[in-house]
Every structure is written in structure tokens, then in C-alpha cells.
Amino acid sequence: MRFLLLFLLAAAAVTLNAADKAPSAAADLGSVKVIMLKTLTAQMKYDENEIIVRPGEKVKIVFENGDDLPHNLVFCQPGTDTMTMAMKQMEKPEEALKRNWLPDDKRILLHSKMLNPHEKEELIFTAPEKPGDYPYVCTFPGHALTMNGKLKVIPMGQGLKDLKFALFLGNWKMLPDFSKLKPHREGVVPNNLIDIKLDDYKNEFGVVFTGKIHAPRKGSYRFYIAGDDGVRLLIDGKKVVEYDGIHPAGTIKEETVQLNEGDHELRYEYFQAGGQIAVFAAWKGANFDITPLSSWRPAGWEKGAKAKKKAEYAPIPIVVAGEPVIYRNFIQGAGNRAIGVGYPGGINIAWSAESMNLALLWKGAFMDASLHWNSRGGGYQSPMGFDVLKPTGEVTPAFFIAEKPDAVWPVWDKTKRYEGFVWKGYTLDAKRSPTFRYTWQGVEIEESFSATGNGNKPGGNPTLIRSIKITGSLPANAWYRLGAGPFEKKEGRFVAKDRLPYSIIAEGAQMAGQNLVIPAKAGTLTITYQWAQ
């Protein structure tokens, strides 16, 4: 037992030292920061959409293409519209093909080759001195919308100044009011890092650290703390963040505070009941990265309170082969009673059995079930493919009674149901394509879809045709909303403006304010959805 304990303590010390000395150890090897970046299988994504480096830092990016399609990695000047840059190649596709889909653009700072599936390339470079967000993107046609990220060049912030400590003795279960207690001992902390270095006290004491911190400009700043046991951080006498009580040090708490430019008084209160001793503090500003204010840092501290939250699973793609596939689960943007349908040819929808409406449609891969088929199965899963369209509001019904069609349509409340709708179910036809059935205002309605073209290929002209059969007479002033937001009428089609371009075609449709509507009455409504070419 004693041996084991000693062993654990020794291991902890090594870890701490390693954390402390990491920069200098790396310096011996030329101080290269190594970053692994991978493309995800069948998801049109990089596995990280943010890479953080320091100004002037030497960086090695090991870029691996884990997908079954070719991808590259292209870094650009801050402010580059990478989507437009990638799209522009399509004006002269033969030339672009000769350049292997690398745009001829001065804003490109650095790029990989176009990697074939499962190839790897190392990019070694010195990070720019100028802080900023340097976008990166895959410039293969059609990939840029989802395959992008930011290389963030961001310096560390300043540390504390004039750090002092006051030691108090006492047996507490919660942080006491130290201002009413008399310190047992006081002193300065020469290296200005919050730390507990007491040989004579192991249990039942408290320490208050006070020092100055300089906010480089007016704005919001985020403070992070962790401790074993209770900790509290105050700025200019006001509590910012607290994690009181007796607990281990693993959990990081964080809060934001507004500060004016200049020096501020930082006060960090800590008490130790018994057992392990640990204190952690850090801060972050708009123009500098998270910066530790203590010697010790818990694992994953760079990510703040999110450090432990990230759960990742290997993707479980739901494969769509010869016939439509259904996936009922929590789909991001389609609510709690979502029914995903993947049609052959890379065209997919999510229909909602609470709004009785098409919630989403998208191209490419259908759904990744790994979020729901691992662990307890919670959370909303986003579509696996790309170019996700949400023609109307989130999980809102299309049918609505309003005097004027520019009315405000109902808004989703996920704890409530929409009145007037009864969900009946769906029937699969011979090709296993579903027809959804429901009633609205007692009138029977059936919806079916057919998909043409190909959403997996550039230029595949994917098209979704939706047919809504209304059997019975609807009340006066009944409207059917096909789209929400700005649309422009061009050659008989309504083209979405100021967002991912797509068009809706429906006979008799009209714009009314932000609503693209059609009077709802008995008969069959046909709506065609097309992604922009």
C-alpha cells in the first residue's frame, strides 16, 4: 500500500515536471509543434476545424486523408473567402484540372498536394508573426463548404504581477470569509504563479493570493479555475468564478467578466480540508489565448471546462444502396420526432412527425449513427452529407391559418406539440419509399418524395420532388409555407438569397414578406427543390 502510494506520487511528479518543462524540452529539438490533421471518412470534414499556434512558432502538420475521395489542405491569408476561391475554379475547369484543383490565387500561403485516399503528407512551416485567423480549406470542387477550418495565430496573454499570499489556518468544509480572519503568515510569490508550496501544512489551511493583472484593452475576459479543495477567483473585489466545497481537482469552472483597459486586482481564495492539494487558474482574452496563472495545470486545461466533454466515436455510416433507408432518431435541425430518409443517389431528407413537414434536405452521405449507437444514445446528430437546406423554420409546420400570408408562422417549442395535427404513420411503396400520412384540421394529407439526379457527384443535378395530397376541404385562410427567408423569383423558380443557393419551384407560389407561400386547398401540391449548380 505504502509502496503503491509512493509510486503514484512519483508518477504525478513526473507528469507535473513534464508539463512545466515541455517548452524547453521541445526547444532542444528546434521547438516544433506537431499537429495531426485528418479527413473523416464519408463526412466531408477535417477532424479539427481549429488549429492554434503561436506567432513565429515552428509547426509541423501531419495531414492524412482518411476519406475515400481526394482532398487537399490549403492555407490562406486572413479574410480570404475560401468558398468563393474554390468555386471560381469552375469557370475554367480544364485549367483547374491541370493544376489538380489548386486555385491560382496569391492569397494562398501554403498547401498540401491533392492527396489520394489514405495518403499522408507533412507540412513544416513557421507560423506567421501577425496574429489572426488564417482559413484552411479543401479546394476540390464542392468540398469547400464543409471542409474548412481556421489556423488561429494567437499569442499568450500576460501573467500576474506583484503576487502575494496570505496563509490562514482552520478546518473548513466551504471557503470561509477570509477578510474576517487573521493570517497566520504572509509573503510574496517571486515567480508570480499561483502555487501551494508549504512544507509545514498539509491539511486544514487556506491561502489567499492577491496580485495585479493587466487587461490590454476594454472587453470581455474569461477566467478558469480548478482546485482541490474549494477555490474562488475575484477581480476588483467581485466574485467571477467559484468552485466551493470539498472535491478533487479534475473539473474546470469558467466564467466571463468585462474589464476596462488597465491593471485590475486579482484575488484567488483557496482552502484545503485534507488529502490532495491542487490550485489552477488561467485567463483568456479576445486577442490572446488561454494563459495559465498557476504552476499546476489539470489535463486538457487548454480547452477549459470542455476538456472532458469531448466524446468521439468511430463513424457508423448508414449506407444507402439500392433503395431508400429510414433512420428515426434525434436529428439536428429536425427535432425529436425526426424521420430521416436516404434516397439512392445521395439525396436525403429529414421529415418531422411533430411539425408534419420537411425539416431538412441534403446531399451526399445520409446519417452517421455513431452518436446514437454508442453509450446511452443521446444528442442530436447532424446530417452526414453536405449542402444542408432548411427551407422553412426549425421544426415548424407548413400549414397555418392566417388572414394574411405574411403572418408570423409558429415557432418550435420542443416541450410542446403543435395543435391541429395528428400523426398517422407511413407506408412504404414497392421500392420502399415512404409516404407520410397525417391529418391537419381533420383533413387527410399524404406526402411522398422522389429524388432524381445525383447528390454525390459535382454537376449531378440533384432534385427532390415533393408531392402533397390534400383530401378534403381546408378552412378559409389556410396557407402552406414552402420557404422562409429571402427568395428571388427568377424564370419561374424561387432562388434563396443570402445563404446557400437553392431553388424551389411550385405552381402558384408567391412571396409574402419573408414567407414563400401557396394557398392550401384540396388537391395535390407539387414542390421541386434543386441545389444550385
Position 379 contacts another protein (CB under 8 A)? yes
Position 423 contacts another protein (CB under 8 A)? yes
Position 334 contacts another protein (CB under 8 A)? no
Number of residues interacting with another protein: please give it, by CB under 8 A: 33
Residue 467: other Cβ atoms inside 10 A: 14
What is the nearest approach in angstroms of another protein to the Cβ of residue 243?
Answer: 14
How far apart are alpha carbons 153 and 78 in whole angstroms? 10
How far apart are alpha carbons 393 and 173 in whole angstroms? 50
Position 373 contacts another protein (CB under 8 A)? yes
Extended beta strands in 312-397, E state: 325-331, 335-343, 347-352, 357-363, 386-389
Position 396 contacts another protein (CB under 8 A)? no
CA 373 to chain centroid, in Å, comes to 20
Decide whether 1 or 430 has the Cβ nearer to another protein: 430
Bridge partners of 111, per DSSP, are: 74
Position 288 contacts another protein (CB under 8 A)? no
How far apart are alpha carbons 359 and 396 in whole angstroms? 8
Decide whether 2 or 376 has the Cβ nearer to another protein: 376
What is the nearest approach in angstroms of another protein to the Cβ of residue 462?
Answer: 22
Q: What share of the chain is helix, strand, coil (3-state, %, to 5)?
A: 10, 45, 45
Residues 132-171 within binding reach of another protein (CB under 8 A)? none
Residue 126: other Cβ atoms inside 10 A: 12
Cell numbers for 336: 425529436
Closest CA to 195 of 115, 251, 302, 268: 268
What is the nearest approach in angstroms of another protein to the Cβ of residue 147?
Answer: 28
> What are the DSSP calls for 218-269, one per residue?
SEEEEEEEEEES-EEEEETTEEEEEE-SS--S---EEEEEEE-SEEEEEEEE
Bridge partners of 519, per DSSP, are: 479
Decide whether 326 or 465 has the Cβ nearer to another protein: 326
What is the nearest approach in angstroms of another protein to the Cβ of residue 322?
Answer: 14
Position 246 contacts another protein (CB under 8 A)? no
Residues 104-133 within binding reach of another protein (CB under 8 A)? none
What is the nearest approach in angstroms of another protein to the Cβ of residue 448?
Answer: 14
Position 87 contacts another protein (CB under 8 A)? no
What is the nearest approach in angstroms of another protein to the Cβ of residue 119?
Answer: 30
Position 359 contacts another protein (CB under 8 A)? no
Residue 406: other Cβ atoms inside 10 A: 13
Decide whether 166 or 338 has the Cβ nearer to another protein: 338
| 314 to 333: interface string for another protein, x by CB under 8 A | -----------xxxxxx---
Decide whether 264 or 437 has the Cβ nearer to another protein: 437
How far apart are alpha carbons 501 and 530 in whole angstroms? 9
One of 301, 426, 440, 487 touching another protein (CB under 8 A): 426
One of 106, 182, 309, 376 touching another protein (CB under 8 A): 376
Position 180 contacts another protein (CB under 8 A)? no
Q: Applying CB under 8 A, which residues contact another protein?
A: 325-330, 335-337, 339-340, 353, 369, 373-380, 414-417, 423-428, 430, 432
